[in-house]
């Protein structure tokens, strides 16, 4: 039996807020994998203090959790304040799926919004309460974009709560002040919570355009004699060139992609399809399907880079298991092997290999040498026809058994 979505939870933690106890699944595939993080607890403490109780508590109709992760903020706020609606959003499709499961576990209905643009769907999700645990490593431009997007969706009488780690609190405070927002600052050990109220000028804040994630220059690169140009994207890695894993996947895919439909799982910033699309006529893939767990990567692939002569489409793919839907006859499936501990990644990968075998296709994968070596020891439904190793990364090409 194929692993289910619940198998991605590492453990369940009971968490109390406003005299209620919530059971939340935690996953090593997401932030805050071993316990409910201190930043989320600090934000909920501030929310509790501001909302009061009884008839004096303001009415909350819609709670919007931006960058929801496992959903702790939105779930606790919506249920604890008896909100009529909860919206969960994250650029990580698996995070949204697991947050929805956590909401269901706590008997709470919710809806999700498609991640059509890097920081959300644009204005039109006007909310009484918006909560966001700002990802510290995303970088200052992304922090500003997330803040502007939240302000653009704040109802006239609404409240925005942002929690950040203390080292970036002053910079974010200056940005909020430039946006004419009314700000209340709460400092905790390690974290700062900003409580932001709507002001007459707040409504003039426009949600960020997709181009805001585009870096200001194109980069000319070469991979084994294949020249291509690349537009880096804020919030994604591989700014200046492919990672060792991507380079290994490109090296393998070049050998076996000719005239095949190519399915690329988590193609990242776009180096792999750019390389393959610049192969000579007769050597490149027939088509691309980008299966993206990271929907920011999907956005970048669709709007910032072009793939000469190769038609493409993209799909949100929350985990490897979903790849099986996209394996056409004779397809080449290319994926990085980056399993988080205590997740069913490898079991789901084996299911993908079975689908590739049934379709008469080819599977190319690469990852850390130790991980791929362990995978080789499993009973695989495909035959290994090529092995490669470089810079601590091992790659395999697998095809039908004789």
Three-class SS string for 225-243? CEEEEECCECCCCCCCCCC
Triad 231, 397, 230: Cα angle to 5°: 5
pLDDT of residue 121: 43
Fold of the CATH domain 5-210: Rossmann fold (3.40.50)
Distance of CA 345 to the CA centre of its chain: 16
Neighbours of 376 (CB within 10 A): 12
* Packing angle of the helix pair 72-80, 38-51 (nearest 10 deg): 20
**Token couple for 198:** 């709507």
User: What is the distance between the alpha carbons of residues 354 and 139, in angstroms, rounded to a whole number?
Assistant: 40
pLDDT of residue 116: 43
Q: Max alpha carbon distance in the chain (Å)?
A: 74
Domain boundaries, the chain: 5-210, 214-399
Burial class (CB in 10 A: 0-12, 13-18, 19+), 45: middle
Cα–Cα distance measured from residue 172 to residue 209, given in angstroms and rounded to the nearest whole number: 20
Residue with tokens 């909860």, as numbered in its chain: 86
Please enumerate in sequence order all residues whose Cβ is within 8 A of that of 129, keeping only pairs 6 or more positions apart, or say none.
47, 60, 62, 63, 64, 77, 81, 83, 158, 159, 160, 161
Supply the pLDDT for residue 147: 87
C-alpha closest to that of 14 among 6, 5, 25? 25
Q: How far is CA 322 from the centre of its chain?
A: 15
Measured CA to CA in angstroms, residue 271 lies from 56, 214, 221, 275, 362 at distances of: 55, 15, 9, 6, 20
Alpha helices in 52-185 (DSSP H): 72-80, 93-105, 140-152, 169-178
Which residues, 6+ apart, have CB-to-CB distance to 18 below 8 Å?
48, 76, 80
The contacts of residue 209 (CB under 8 Å, 6+ apart) are none
pLDDT computed for residue 250 by the predictor:
98
Cα 96 from chain centroid (whole Å): 9
User: Which residue blocks in 201-328 are alpha helix, DSSP H?
Assistant: 244-256, 271-277, 295-303
For residue 144, what are its two tokens? 């500003």
- Assess whether the region 5-210 and the region 214-399 belong to the same CATH fold: yes
The CATH number of the structural domain formed by 214-399 is: 3.40.50.150
pLDDT of residue 239: 84
Please report, for the chain, how many H helices and E strands are present, in that order: 10, 18
What pLDDT tens digit does each residue of the chain (402 aa) get? 678 999 999 999 999 999 899 999 999 999 888 899 999 999 999 999 998 765 566 778 999 999 999 999 999 999 999 999 999 999 899 999 999 999 999 999 888 875 544 444 444 678 999 999 998 887 787 888 888 888 888 888 899 999 999 999 999 999 998 887 789 999 999 999 999 998 777 666 665 545 556 666 788 999 999 999 998 887 788 888 999 999 999 999 999 999 999 999 999 989 999 999 999 999 999 999 999 999 888 888 888 788 988 999 999 999 999 999 999 999 999 999 999 889 999 999 999 999 999 999 999 999 999 999 999 999 899 999 999 999 999 999 999 987
Please give the pLDDT value at position 305.
82
With residues binned 3-state (H G I as helix, E B as strand, rest as coil), the percentages for the chain, rounded to 5, are: 35, 30, 35
- Torsion on CA atoms 225, 226, 229, 234, rounded to nearest 10: -90
d(CA 353, CA 356): 5
Q: Which two tokens stand for residue 64?
A: 């919007």
Q: pTM here?
A: 0.91
DSSP classification of residue 167: G
């Amino acid at each position: 039996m194929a692993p289910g979505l619940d198998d991605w939870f590492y453990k369940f933690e009971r968490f109390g807020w406003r005299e209620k106890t919530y059971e939340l699944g935690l996953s090593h595939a997401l932030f805050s994998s071993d316990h409910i993080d201190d930043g989320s607890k600090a934000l909920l403490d501030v929310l509790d203090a501001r909302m009061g109780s009884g008839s004096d508590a303001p009415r909350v109709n819609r709670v919007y959790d931006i960058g929801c992760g496992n959903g702790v903020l939105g779930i606790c706020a919506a249920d604890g304040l008896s909100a009529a609606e909860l919206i969960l959003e994250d650029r990580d499709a698996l995070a949204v799926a697991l947050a929805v499961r956590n909401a269901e576990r706590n008997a709470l209905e919710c809806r999700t919004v498609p991640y059509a643009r890097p920081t959300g769907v644009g204005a039109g999700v006007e909310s009484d309460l918006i909560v966001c645990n700002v990802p510290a490593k995303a970088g200052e431009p992304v922090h500003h974009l997330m803040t502007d997007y939240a302000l653009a969706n704040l109802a006239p009488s609404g409240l925005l709560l942002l929690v950040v780690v203390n080292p970036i609190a002053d910079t974010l405070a200056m940005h909020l002040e430039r946006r004419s927002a009314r700000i209340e600052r709460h400092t905790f050990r390690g974290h700062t919570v900003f409580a932001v109220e709507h002001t007459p000028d707040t409504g003039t804040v426009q949600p960020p355009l997709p181009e805001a994630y585009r870096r200001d220059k194109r980069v000319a690169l070469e991979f084994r004699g294949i020249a291509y140009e690349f537009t880096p994207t804020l919030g994604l890695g591989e700014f200046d060139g492919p990672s060792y894993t991507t380079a290994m996947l490109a090296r393998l895919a070049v050998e076996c992609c000719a005239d095949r439909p190519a399915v690329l799982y988590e193609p990242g910033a776009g180096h792999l399809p750019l390389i393959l699309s610049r192969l000579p006529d007769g050597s490149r893939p027939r088509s691309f399907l980008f299966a993206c767990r990271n929907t920011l990567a999907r956005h970048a692939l669709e709007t910032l880079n072009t793939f000469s002569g190769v038609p493409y489409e993209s799909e949100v793919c929350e985990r490897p298991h979903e790849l099986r839907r996209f394996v056409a006859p004779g397809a080449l499936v290319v994926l990085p092997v980056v399993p988080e501990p205590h997740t069913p990644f490898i079991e789901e990968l084996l299911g993908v290999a079975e689908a590739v075998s049934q379709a008469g296709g080819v599977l190319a994968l690469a990852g850390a040498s130790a991980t791929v070596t362990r995978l080789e020891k499993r009973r695989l439904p495909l035959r290994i026809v090529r092995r490669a190793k470089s810079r601590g990364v091992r790659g395999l090409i697998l095809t039908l058994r004789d």
